[in-house]
Amino acid sequence: MTEQTDDFELAGVPDAFQRLWTPHRLAYIKGGQGQFGKGEQDCPFCLAPTRSDADSLIVHRGESCFVVLNLFPYNPGHLLVCPYRHIPDYTDLTVAETAEFAELTQTGMRVLRSVANPSGFNLGMNQGVTGGAGVAAHLHQHIVPRWGGDGNFLPIIAQTKAITQTLAEVWDQVRSAWPED
Ligand SMILES: [Zn+2]
């Protein structure tokens, strides 16, 4: 994480950057994913619903599951669907939770299509540390919007600064487009 300076040294740009992004709310970006322990008390997906939607970048709260922007997105608009319960495995979901988990995944895709017109998606759950889960103790479904060519240029531009600059804007767009219950 670098300081909030303007790489291009253009007058006024750092000020605009500060308006787009509110780093004081996203303190946990600075610590990275490594700061999270295994217990519920410091599980990011247990903590998120205890904060305001703006502080946690939650775009929708359902009955048993909620949808949040990934703080470490592969692409802008990368959403995570999580049960409120601190459970690690897909098979731990109740029937009702499974239904809402799936419904929110579908709605997340529809909302992203409406606001960002992706040409494809990657959906999925990494199960267990061996399966690649960053937070293995709390189940989460990735919804990653894809655009043609994103795999080519994103590794170049998708540094922390470039992505986090868009988080507050993306949150506002997705949240506003989410249909009322
Ligand atoms: Zn948890």
Q: How far is the C-alpha of 109 from the C-alpha of 93, rounded, in Å? A: 21
Task: Find the 134 Cα to ligand 1 centroid distance in Å.
Answer: 12
> Does residue 42 surpass a pLDDT of 90?
no
Domain membership flag for residue 2: no
For the stretch 6-27, pLDDT in tens is: 333 333 333 333 333 333 344 3
What's the domain range around 122? 13-177
Residues annotated as catalytic (active site), given as ranges = 140
For the stretch 63-92, pLDDT in tens is: 999 999 988 777 888 899 999 999 999 999
Report the CATH number at residue 166.
3.30.428.10
Mean pLDDT of 143-164: 60
pLDDT value of residue 36: 52
Q: How far is the C-alpha of 135 from the C-alpha of 168, rounded, in Å? A: 22
Higher pLDDT: 31 or 147? It is: 147
Task: Find the 43 Cα to ligand 1 centroid distance in Å.
Answer: 5
- Residue that has been written with the tokens 């979901």 in this structure: 93
Domain membership flag for residue 87: yes
* Residue 41: band (very low, low, confident or very high) from pLDDT cuts 50, 70, 90: confident
pLDDT value of residue 85: 97
Backbone angles phi, psi at 55, to 5 degrees: -70, -35
Q: How far is the C-alpha of 12 from the C-alpha of 130, rounded, in Å? A: 46
Domain membership flag for residue 171: yes
pLDDT value of residue 39: 66
The domain tally of the chain equals 1
Task: Find the 16 Cα to ligand 1 centroid distance in Å.
Answer: 35
Widest Cα–Cα separation across the chain: 55
Domain membership flag for residue 8: no
For the stretch 97-151, pLDDT in tens is: 999 999 999 999 999 999 989 999 999 998 888 888 878 899 999 999 988 777 6
- Closest C-alpha to 16, from 28, 25, 4: 4
What's the CA angle centered on 44, arms 60 and 40, to 5 degrees? 115
Domain membership flag for residue 39: yes
Decide: 31 and 177 in contact? Cβ < 8 Å: no
Domain membership flag for residue 108: yes
Helix (H) or strand (E) holding 172: helix 160-177
Domain membership flag for residue 37: yes
Task: Find the 128 Cα to ligand 1 centroid distance in Å.
Answer: 14
